Amino acid sequence: MTKEQNRIMAKPKVATTSLAGCFGCHMSILDIDERILQLIELIEFDKSPINDIKEFTGECLVGIVEGGCANEENVRVLQDFRKHCKILISLGDCAINGGLPAMRNTIPLKECLDEAYLNGPSVYNPSGQIPNDPEIPLLLDKVYPCHEVVKMDYHLPGCPPSADTIWQTLVALLTDAPLELPYELIKYD
């Protein structure tokens, strides 16, 4: 192997996923714009919607998780991330607090499904069935923030966190430097 190849191989890996989120946080990752070229110098993406790798190929340094856990598949993916990633980051308010999907948390699951598939004012469902294919992951009783399911190492708030915040955080983590987030980046009103 050449020296250059060696360097590439040794690059730390980053995985990302969107659980019960809207992909807005991932859009924000893409908002780092041309800096993604610099990022690629620093890291290699493993499992992530950005490169469409579906399963982990090995151990990762950082796992970035958007969205909370609304169903069993979310839980399985999150567990998988915990297993493969040294550092797990909750990215954005849904991962941290449950966010919009958690608005159903005060309503019993059965009522939610009935409203969505049977009783809602705009529902047209002559068969009166609630989708129940074995492929459809079962919903959890409520939407859980990630840290209630597995241990999360960092929380990066925002809806979504801005590209600059994500950039600063990743650079700090990858270069082992202290993270400095100026006031503008953590001010939300």
Partner 1 sequence: MSENLETVVKTVCEGTGNDKNRMMDIVRELQEILGGVSDDAMDLIATQVGTHRVEVESVVSFYAFLSKNQKGKTVIRLCDDIIDRMFGFERIKQTFCDALGIELGETTPDNLITLETTPCIGMCDQAPAIMVNDEIFTELSRDGAVEIVEQLRAGLAPERLRRRLGDGNNSSPLVSAGVSNNLRKRGEVIFAPLECGRALKKAIAMSPNEVIRDVKTARLRGRGGAGFPTGMKWDFTRSANGERKYVVCNADEGEPGTFKDRVVLTERPELLIEGMAIAGYAIGAQEGLIYLRAEYAYLRPFLEDTLQKARNMNMLGVDVLGKPGFNFDIRIQMGAGAYVCGEETALISSCEGLRGDPKNRPPFPAQKGYLGYPTSVNNVETFCCVARILDQGAGWFSQIGSKGSTGTKLLSISGDIRRPGVYEVPFGISMKEVLELAGGEGAAAVQVGGPSGQLIGPDMFDRIICYDDLATGGALMVFGPHRDLLKVVEYFMDFFIEESCGYCTPCRVGNVLLKNRLDEILHGKGEPLDLTYLEELGNSVKATSRCGLGQTSPNPILSSLKNFPGLYHALVKANQPFQPTFDIQKALGEAKEIAGRPSMHFAE
Which residues are at the interface with partner 1 (CB under 8 A)? 72-73, 75-76, 79, 108-110, 113, 130, 132, 134, 137-142, 144, 147-151
CA distances from 186 to 23, 84, 141, 162 (A): 20, 29, 32, 9
Closest approach of Cβ 56 to partner 1, in Å?
16
Closest to partner 1 by CB, 75 or 170? 75
Please report how close the Cβ of residue 3 comes to partner 1 at its closest, in angstroms: 38
- SS3 state of residue 66: strand
Least distance (Å) between residue 140 CB and partner 1? 4
Q: Give the residue among 149, 153, 174, 132 at the shortest CA–CA distance from 38.
A: 174
DSSP secondary structure string for all residues of 126-139: TT-PPP--TTSPPE
Q: 19 vs 170, which CB is nearer to partner 1?
A: 19
Nearest CB to partner 1, comparing residues 132 and 175? 132
User: Does residue 160 have a cis bond before it (omega within 30 degrees)?
Assistant: yes
Residue that is written with structure tokens 């990066």 in the block:
156
Closest separation between CB of residue 63 and partner 1, Å?
16
Complex with partner 1: residue 35 or 147, whichever CB lies closer: 147
